[in-house]
């Protein structure tokens, strides 16, 4: 038994083990977490994370943000102040977002560690393929939820684990930079403890709204 890095309860059980890592499942919040002893060195993590700057990933990030803007527009939300948390969008794509009437700040722990942008609150925060890299998900969740204004929107892309039984065959666990794995019920738990409404959690997309 060890403490769950998300809910801090001693409700974790050994869940799966491969040649390099052990994984624990939390009964309370449903998070599957990699053993912290197996974390990569920060320099290696940065190298691997940096690969996401390649064109393919960048296009996926752009698509994610464009479809989010479309959804917000459908909800009648325009001229929002947003924060893109965890992965940097190219200047070109950022200009397109601005043209659509949205102001977007960016924070990336490796490539845009501008802590100034963490000093204010936002109408919308999006985070594309970042949550699975969180070594301290409780701390990151506290930060992200504190950066959101009341009634603000939080859009997350992270692959959701359909069931704990599916973990053994899940290829996403094989990437050593992936250390936190969420089930839909993990976001139900986070919504409950933080005063969010969970609007959607399926596939690899989660949408939540902070209470007024």
How long a stretch of residues is the chain?
212
- Distance (Å, whole) CA 159 – CA 172: 8
- The CB-of-158 to Zn ion minimum distance in angstroms stands at 16
Beta strands in 36-166, from DSSP E residues, in sequence order: 81-85, 103-107, 122-128, 148-157
- Tell me which residues in 27-86 interact with Zn ion (CB under 5 A): 28-29, 31
**65 or 179: CB nearest Zn ion:** 179
Task: Classify each residue of 162-201 as buried b or exposed e, where b means 16 or more C-beta atoms within 10 Å of its C-beta.
Answer: eebeebeeeeebeeebbbbbbbbbbbebbbeebebebeeb
Q: Is 160 left (phi over 0), alpha (psi -120 to 50) or beta?
A: beta
Site for Zn ion contains 4 (CB under 5 A)? yes
Site for Zn ion contains 25 (CB under 5 A)? no
**7 or 52: CB nearest Zn ion:** 7
Coil vs helix vs strand at 105: strand
- The CB-of-201 to Zn ion minimum distance in angstroms stands at 16
- The CB-of-164 to Zn ion minimum distance in angstroms stands at 13
Site for Zn ion contains 6 (CB under 5 A)? yes
- The CB-of-11 to Zn ion minimum distance in angstroms stands at 6
**31 or 80: CB nearest Zn ion:** 31
Note the Cα 108 to chain centre separation in Å: 12
- The CB-of-40 to Zn ion minimum distance in angstroms stands at 23
Query: Which residues sit at the interface with Zn ion, rule CB under 5 A?
Result: 4, 6-7, 26, 28-29, 31
């Amino acid at each position: 038994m060890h403490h769950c890095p998300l809910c801090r309860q001693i409700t974790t059980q050994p869940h799966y083990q491969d040649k390099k890592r052990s994984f624990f499942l939390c009964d309370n919040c449903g998070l599957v977490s990699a053993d912290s002893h197996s974390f990569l060195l920060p320099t290696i993590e940065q190298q691997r994370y940096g690969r996401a700057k390649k064109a393919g990933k960048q296009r996926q990030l752009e698509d994610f943000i464009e479809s989010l803007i479309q959804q917000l527009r459908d909800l009648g939300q325009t001229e929002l102040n947003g924060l893109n948390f965890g992965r940097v969008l190219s200047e070109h794509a950022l200009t397109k977002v601005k043209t659509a009437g949205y102001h977007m700040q960016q924070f990336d722990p490796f490539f845009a560690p501008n802590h100034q942008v963490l000093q204010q609150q936002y109408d919308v925060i999006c985070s594309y393929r970042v949550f699975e890299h969180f070594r301290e998900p409780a701390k990151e969740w506290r930060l992200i939820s504190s950066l959101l204004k009341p009634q603000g929107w939080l859009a997350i892309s992270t692959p959701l684990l359909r069931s704990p039984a599916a973990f053994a065959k899940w290829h996403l666990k094989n990437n050593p930079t992936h250390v936190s794995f969420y089930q839909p019920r993990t976001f139900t738990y986070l919504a409950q403890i933080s005063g969010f409404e969970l609007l959607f959690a399926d596939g690899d997309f989660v949408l939540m709204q902070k209470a007024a």
